[in-house]
Structure 1
């Protein structure tokens, strides 16, 4: 049996693509006190760093991501992007949601090209870039397919190309591979790592899957059960890169890391089940 090596808390990066300082998030409910979803909490993601957030269902992982995207305004605290206070939508970020954002009446090529066309890029230039990105995600032979003619994994590849074609500096991902089967998730994870290795964007990746978080990221943050959830763990993932999202899971160190993080995460998951009982 492998020896369990305790993980040291990761030190916060000094040069941050994203920095949240004492962020608190509340939701107003008519006739009731405000629901305090996230208690004051802080995090930082360095430029080029891949950070995953895990935690029990309903703990506010997606809520934090939406604050970074500029889709909601915190009740307190500060959101900074490359040292500048965020006001409105985060123009430096690309956001990949759990649900497909592809338009069913457009081909894969048009679905990707429109991400540039709406920014004023000419039709021919947008189509050329879209062909290139669909080739990068392994869909070069499927340019003329409509979404209903693609598998779930292929539609996710179209969605990934839609986001990356805009060349965002920050990539926000909210359970992007959640609806896929286990094998396809691992394939998509490896594809994501290959693409990320090319320019090392800052990534904030929300997932319920601890194995996925460890396989992909440089750090794993743990959120407590809500309400008033907060970040309670910050663990450095000391697995060498480049990685294969499937093969890395057989590495002895992977299992040591998983055991150490799960020891903290498990208690928060149990709290959630206790509240539902």
Structure 2
């Protein structure tokens, strides 16, 4: 059975929870429009990601998934409410987090190894040591042979692997991921998903993962949180994923339990997706 809690984003069943890595308490996010009106993107929201937990957030386009992620990163200050990171109130940029964006942030004039090493050199690590450690990470993501190439010489999947190494080399305590595999083709997404699970399993960092792909969310995560369409988007469901680990993405999608889980979550999500689509096209709800 799935453990579900609607509306408040909390799971009520199961073992004693691990320590909190990310805690959103009454987080509301609103913007001032050019005409002076106030647009409430996210209604007051509670959400917890525990240490070692992989949580995926899904919802219709424009529902505030990335907005919540940016609040957890310290890139966006909530209008009201509190963001806690490992029990401490976040007041600036989240120095405990590694952030992997949908678009990579590789520097085109630097080689692959230097793109990874720069994550250390900017904080004072000697260049030689940084390059040595970067090579170690390139070996872990299967790109040691490409160390001296430049970003334009890589495929989309290879660039994503460099991006993963660039984030993980700093050894962040938690990972924030915003549609990181969105631009990739289906086969490459499977490969990247398996690589992410392999790297994640080694240290079990807390992960807050935003995606539009419900199949991807289920295959990767411990919990799937769904959000309503905006404005005033809110958490409307929180589903524990009981599929055992370790997992291989292709195998998970062939598991009969996967289809039951997908059906149950989609039944709760599809009305919000339709509503979001109609709103984005200027149609009546």
TM-score bracket for this pair, using the shorter chain length: over 0.9
| Residues 7, 260 of structure 1: 8 Å contact kept | no
- Which residue in 1 is equivalent to 2:277? 273
- Which residue in 2 is equivalent to 1:15? 19
Separation in 1, partners of 2:277, 2:128:
53
- Which residue in 2 is equivalent to 1:252? 256
Separation in 2, partners of 1:148, 1:189:
23
Match of 2:137 among 133, 139, 156: 133
Change (3 A) 1:127 1:41: same
CA RMSD of aligned residues (A): 1.1
Match of 1:152 among 141, 156, 160: 156
Separation in 1, partners of 2:27, 2:55:
18
CA-to-aligned-CA distance 1:173-218 (integer Å, 9 cap, x gap) = 0000000000000100000000000000000000000000000000
How much does 1:30 deviate? 2.8
- Which residue in 2 is equivalent to 1:176? 180
1:246 aligns to what SS in structure 2?
A: helix
Match of 1:50 among 54, 61, 68: 54
Separation in 2, partners of 1:114, 1:6:
43
Stretches of structure 2 that go unaligned for 5 or more consecutive residues are: 6-10
How much does 1:23 deviate? 0.3
What TM-score comes out, normalization by structure 1 length? 0.96
Separation in 1, partners of 2:138, 2:18:
35
How much does 1:242 deviate? 0.3
| Residues 226, 236 of structure 2: 8 Å contact kept | yes
- Which residue in 1 is equivalent to 2:107? 103
How much does 1:100 deviate? 1.0
Structure 1 stretches of at least 4 aligned residues deviating more than 3 Å after TM superposition:
5-9, 11-14
- Which residue in 2 is equivalent to 1:86? 90
| Residues 17, 202 of structure 1: 8 Å contact kept | yes
| Residues 7, 257 of structure 1: 8 Å contact kept | no
CA-to-aligned-CA distance 1:30-66 (integer Å, 9 cap, x gap) = 3231110000011000000000000000000000000
1:250 aligns to what SS in structure 2?
A: coil
| Residues 187, 246 of structure 1: 8 Å contact kept | no
1:267 aligns to what SS in structure 2?
A: helix
What TM-score comes out, normalization by structure 2 length? 0.94
1:72 aligns to what SS in structure 2?
A: coil
- Which residue in 1 is equivalent to 2:8? none
